[in-house]
Chains A and B, each alone.
With several copies, the nearest count.
Chain A
């Protein structure tokens, strides 16, 4: 048994950490949060050049041809650094869907550009408040064009292409749904940037009017492909969340060591010490569940769906818990704009809903445990 990342993978992780410490300190995150740029272009380009974006994309399509485990350790570091770049949309979702279901032509055309960062992709699925389900996907696909709107779309303002969950056959059921690839730089597209809780990752509404689109995967397979893509993304995003949780815990720990009140470091008070201990517990549970997620993803295990839901629930709670209590450890300082605590708090709450809320994933987890148990 070796339930740990290999020495090479850990080196890659170290390399990513050093790279991000240099190119993506929190001042860079703040620049996006506060400024008008929707994402950090230089960082994005650099991640492409370093091969981080294409780590799990085959060499024949312009990637490094490493595997999911390598992408997991990179994701963790991106989460730790709060990297203000569209990796989750472009790589965890769009590149993954193309790898799984794209035609040879689609792969050849888009994967190399996604790997280099030249093209940014996003997944557009949401049309209503609440969970995405077949009955509330109405955007319509007819004769190679899409008409309707998706909102919010993470990185929708900056993406060059989108994979869109659309309805090709009338009705409310999953069989009428397919995935379409759309070039967003065409006239039938209108985008509106949205205010969100975490402006370090931009979001938009995208309106489609007779926009040219091509099918990805078979017609009628849209819902299945979408759900499978969410599972893989849940594990990769889960590593972002683990990275964020760990960093929030470290920030809290460091502050508790350095800040004195009543003549002693506040970390010597049990109220603070035990709060940090509980943060460590949730972060550790999430990491361990994450390792199983990484294992399942990298081996294509039959447990992948269960592992994805487990990790999603575990890592979402851990990051929210750590980010929230990191502010509490910092007291009033934690609530200033100037301190970085709120950056982690914002991101933790963005990632908590970015692939659908906890309540949806809890449901999936129990469904999957039951299916396995029945099998």
Chain B
């Protein structure tokens, strides 16, 4: 039970630290440390340009996509080395937000299922930050029920013709490539008729429409497919094997979502140390406030040390246990509770969302409006509880109304 590196880990950490110290864009640090909801702001510099520059630098020095094989642009590093790198990269990692989906989900999927030629051509460009990838999975009719998707791909000679609509595609508007799951056979049960592809986002017939979110921002898109024609060589995995292929993506998504998420305690703690309550005492000295702070503090540290237990498992060469699945579930509701509580303590001023006027630069007001999405994206609270119940605790599946039924016979209203 210790927090020390093994000698090998210590050597790796020292190497990473030295390289970062010598090469990182230190002039951006003050901005990166303030990064919160709603992307990064770099004092007028173009975040995408800075992100690509940092990624390319890392790539050139062998520090990009550490866990990928070298022939695809990675370093062939161990999982624990990747964790150490992340710890050392620290705030600079905030630059890489646009690459997470490509590096974390699309890349591994292409690596497992793509044709060798495409892998050798595309993966290094992805690792280097030259291309950005997106993941075309969710559909209006299939949110939690991903396999209920309806975008269809029909065979036409050596090609496939795609028609339909995707939604919640993060970064589609700045991506060069995407991976796409489609229905190729509606006459078989829903998980069996799916097929996966990869495609350039500027393929004719692809149309990208940003979604304005409830908080006014637009990080997601709708993507429409109107007779989009793809060669069969852009297929990932076999025809009808799309669900199996998508599990590679989703497994990698679950590994990244929620791990290391903050439950939001440090901000509310900071705020309560400053705010004076009605009776003139500081909020931090008020027992009503303290009781809530204590709960959030325990969730924050509980998530932190849960993450460390997972890292330790990696360090021992084991797979992390299922504990990490709790991250987003705990963090999502905590962030929302904290935002509401912080506004409450601010009284009528709590409604003001101007960062120049509101406490903590209106961080809590932004959090109030953003946190509902956290409880939904990448798996709703309810889906996560199902996953914990079924995969961790071994409870039986829900009863399925769609089990073994041809997709086009499943009730939809």
Contacts and interface: CB of A to CB of B under 8 A. Distances in A.
Interface of A: 1-6, 9, 69, 125-126, 128-133, 135, 151-152, 154, 194-198, 203, 249, 253, 256-258, 260-265, 267-274, 276-278, 280-281, 284-286, 288-289, 291-292, 294-295, 298-299, 310, 313-314, 317, 320, 324, 327-328, 331-339, 341-342, 345-346, 349-350, 352-363, 365-366, 369-370, 373
Contact of B373 (A292, A335, A359): A335
Contact of B214 (A258, A292, A335): A335
19 contacts: A1-B312, A9-B1, A126-B348, A126-B349, A262-B402, A263-B412, A267-B396, A270-B382, A276-B395, A277-B385, A281-B329, A298-B1, A334-B214, A353-B349, A357-B344, A365-B294, A366-B284, A366-B294, A369-B269
Contacts of A126: 347-349
Interface of B: 1-5, 9, 138, 140-145, 148, 167-168, 211-216, 269, 273, 275-278, 280, 284, 287-288, 290-291, 293-295, 297-299, 301-306, 308-309, 311-313, 315-316, 323, 326, 329-330, 336, 340, 343-354, 357, 359, 365, 368-369, 372-373, 375-377, 380-382, 384-386, 388-390, 392-402, 405, 410-413
Contacts of A249: 393
A362 B294 contact: yes
A276 B312 contact: no
B388 A277 contact: yes
Contact of B411 (A9, A203, A264, A356): A264
A332 B393 contact: no
A170 to B, nearest CB: 18
A292 B301 contact: yes
Contacts of A357: 343-347, 350
B398 A270 contact: yes
Contact of A253 (B148, B336, B393): B393
A35 B167 CA distance: 26
A356 B278 CA distance: 11
A149 to B, nearest CB: 12
B243 to A, nearest CB: 14
B382 to A, nearest CB: 4
A341 B214 contact: yes
A216 B359 CA distance: 33
Given A5-B1, A357-B350, A366-B284, A289 B294 contact: no
B87 to A, nearest CB: 10
A9 B2 CA distance: 14
A260 B410 CA distance: 10
Nearest to B396: A268
- Listed residue (B297, B329, B412) with the most chain A CB atoms within 10 angstroms of its CB: B297
A365 B398 CA distance: 40
Contact of A370 (B2, B144, B273): B273
- Listed residue (B9, B141, B214, B359) with the most chain A CB atoms within 10 angstroms of its CB: B214
A1 B308 contact: yes
B349 A130 contact: yes
Contact of A1 (B2, B215, B354): B2
A120 B392 CA distance: 41
A262 to B, nearest CB: 5
A2 B382 contact: no
Contacts of A272: 382, 395
B402 A263 contact: yes
A9 B1 CA distance: 10
B350 A335 contact: no
B351 A129 contact: no
Contact of B343 (A276, A352, A362): A352
Given A273-B398, A286-B302, 17 more contacts: A9-B1, A129-B275, A130-B275, A131-B277, A197-B368, A256-B395, A260-B412, A267-B396, A269-B382, A280-B388, A299-B2, A317-B295, A337-B214, A353-B344, A354-B348, A355-B348, A357-B347
A337 B278 CA distance: 36
B248 to A, nearest CB: 22
Contacts of A286: 302
B352 A328 contact: no
A288 B302 contact: yes
- Listed residue (B305, B311, B380, B396) with the most chain A CB atoms within 10 angstroms of its CB: B305
Contact of A2 (B291, B315, B329): B315
A289 B309 CA distance: 11
Contacts of B348: 125-126, 132, 152, 154, 353-356
A333 B143 contact: yes
- Listed residue (B278, B294, B399, B412) with the most chain A CB atoms within 10 angstroms of its CB: B294
Contact of A366 (B216, B290, B365, B390): B290
Nearest to B276: A130
A2 B312 CA distance: 5
A269 B388 CA distance: 14
